Structure 1
Amino acid sequence: MWINIIEDEKNLNAILKTYLEKEGYSVRSFLNGNDAIEAIGLETDLWVIDIMLPDINGFTIFNKIKEATPHAYTIFISARNQDIDRVVGLEMGCDDYISKPFMTRELIIRVNKLLKASVKDKSVLKAGKYEICMDRHKVFCDKKEIEFSAKEYDLLIYFLQNANIALSREQILERVWDGAYQGSQRVVDDTIRRIRKKMPELKIETVYGYGYTYERK
């Protein structure tokens, strides 16, 4: 699972990244808001956002994140230790808030609590009349199993977890084929064609000249 950290204190940034990676997460870290904004839209399960940044207010970044990826979890951190920050953050819809200074383990516990609950809640994904049992790696339609190859299944899950986001062919190859595939990008088109045939009511739309997007209402 992917976590993005926005924290301008270099030492704290590095410590949080190291500890989260030890927990098994994939982590991107940013020292300012502008760099972080460029990553909005990439696969991300949780954002850790410092409110006080040198260039952009953390609340502004939060709004941009929620516009693009409303299902991503967010945790605010702040050195100001003021009740107003906590109130504003929670009213905006953040999932948690932690005041500096804090023990790294405390943040890890809060992150694990959010993401483990997320995994549990998403053990079965639904897309219209389709059901995807993630713990069994099986796809069903009206309780009848649809046969999927490993890559077809992985690509399907990638789309469902990144609904309403335009994904380039390069992004898809990097995440689903682990960047190891050296052949033509046509492999993406061919795999999507097979998924569309097996799941005709799933709205995977072509973004011409770029890639694809799964449209979920």
Structure 2
Amino acid sequence: MSADISYLVYLVDDETTLLELLKSYLENAGYRVKTFQTGEEVLKVLAAEEPHLWILDIMLPDIDGYELLRQIRSKSEVPIIFISARDQDIDKVIGLELGSDDYLAKPFLPRELVIRVQKLLQRTYERSLLTSPVAGGQQFQDWTTIGPYRLSEKGRLVKEGEQAIELTTKEFDLICYLIHNQGQALHREQILSAIWGEDYIGSDRAVDDLVKRIRKKMPKLPLETVYGFGYRLTAP
């Protein structure tokens, strides 16, 4: 995949030499890159423009990468790649459980990072909804009613009455997937495969976090938890 110049990557690492090297490789691959060396710098931009992808070092001089990951995930499911000199399985597991999409232990070849960025961006932003398991190759009618909500697949809109509800890409895709499988109990692994892609290596806790955000925005959605299994959107 050739990089799209519109993709914006936020790169966070306190090692100046490595930061500049990785920035150079990513820019040569066609990405726009903004760099940060402290957690405080990151916190200042969280409410501003959101990148298409984060590359986040765990070991920072002030706020560790785990806390930054929690803060990012509380607002968004934008893809995150963790990088760290701590090449231990527990660090990888914690990162994935908190919601990172990939993990790369230092030292690594800059080209490997570029390839992982390309694949993650492709998986996240370039899968067509209509050819993915989300829609099952079908479209539903222009407006579909579910509880008090109306959903337009073509317009990627959800409304309650005349009030539009702002959803992220994955939030909208999950609701579509649930509607196309209404009444069925869906295992977390099924949802991961459909929404994140079959090659996703993170924890299924990402599904729970996504459902939590949807329920906060759409509290009247008839979405049930099937304990120990997954979720089910009940039929009207």
Normalised by the shorter chain, which TM-score bucket?
Answer: 0.5 to 0.7
d(CA) in 2 for partners of 1:79, 1:162: 32
Describe how 1:179-190 pairs up with structure 2 within 5 A: none
2 CA distance for matches of 1:38 and 1:140?
30
For the pair 1:130 / 2:136, whether they are aligned, the reply is: no
Match of 2:127 among 121, 124, 128: 121
Q: Which one of 14, 22, 28 corresponds to residue 22 of structure 1?
A: 28
> Partner residue of 2:61?
54
Inter-partner Cα distance in structure 2 for 1:88 and 1:105: 25
Q: CA deviation at 1:163?
A: 10
Following superposition, the deviation at residue 140 of structure 1 comes to 8.7
1:121 counterpart SS class: coil
What is the TM-score of this pair, normalised by structure 2? Answer: 0.54
Q: Are 2:89 and 1:83 aligned?
A: yes
AA in 2 matched with 1:25: Y
Does the 8 A contact of 1:43 with 1:162 survive in 2?
Answer: no
Instruction: Measure how far apart 1:121 and its partner are.
Output: 2.5
In structure 1, C-alpha distance between the alignment counterparts of 2:94 and 2:10, rounded to whole Å: 21
The structure-2 alpha-carbon separation of the partners of 1:100 and 1:123, relative to structure 1 and needing over 3 Å to count, comes to: same
How many angstroms apart in 1 are the aligned matches of 2:118 and 2:107? 19
Distance 1:33 1:98 in 2: 19
In 2, the alpha carbon distance for the partners of 1:80 and 1:140 equals 41
1:35 corresponds to which residue?
A: 41
Instruction: Give the match for residue 2 of structure 1.
Output: 8
Amino acid at match of 2:8: W
Distance 1:120 1:140, change over 3 A: closer
CA distance in 2, matches of 1:86, 1:112: 20
Q: Which consecutive residues of structure 2, in runs of 5 or more, have no partner in the other structure?
A: 1-6, 136-142, 144-149, 158-165, 172-215, 219-236
Question: Aligned partners of 1:19 and 1:140: how far apart in 2?
Answer: 35
Equivalent position to 1:100, from 94, 99, 106: 106
Question: Which residue number corresponds to residue 66 of structure 1?
Answer: 73
Q: In structure 2, give the amino acid aligned to 1:90.
A: L
Root-mean-square deviation (CA, aligned residues, Å) is 3.0
The residue that corresponds to 2:51 in the other structure is 44
Identity over aligned residues, as a percent? 40
Structure 1 moving runs of 4+ over 6 Å: none
**Could you say which structure has the greater relative contact order, defined with CA pairs below 8 angstroms and 6 or more residues apart?**
2
8 Å contact kept, 2:69–2:99: no
Residues 108-151 of structure 1: CA deviation (Å, up to 9, x unaligned):
11111110112223566x9953344xxxxxx599xxxxxxxxxx
Give runs of aligned pairs for residues 158-197 of structure 1, distance below 5 A.
none
CA gap 1:130/1:78 in 2 versus in 1, 3 angstroms: same
TM-score (norm 1): 0.58
Report the Cα offset of residue 162 of structure 1: 8.2
> Partners of 2:107 and 2:75 in 1: how far apart?
30
How far off its partner does 1:22 sit?
1.7
Q: Is the 8 A contact 1:163 1:216 kept in 2?
A: no
Shift in Å, 1:76: 0.6
Give the corresponding residue for 1:112: 118
Letter in 1 for 2:90: I
Letter in 1 for 2:68: I
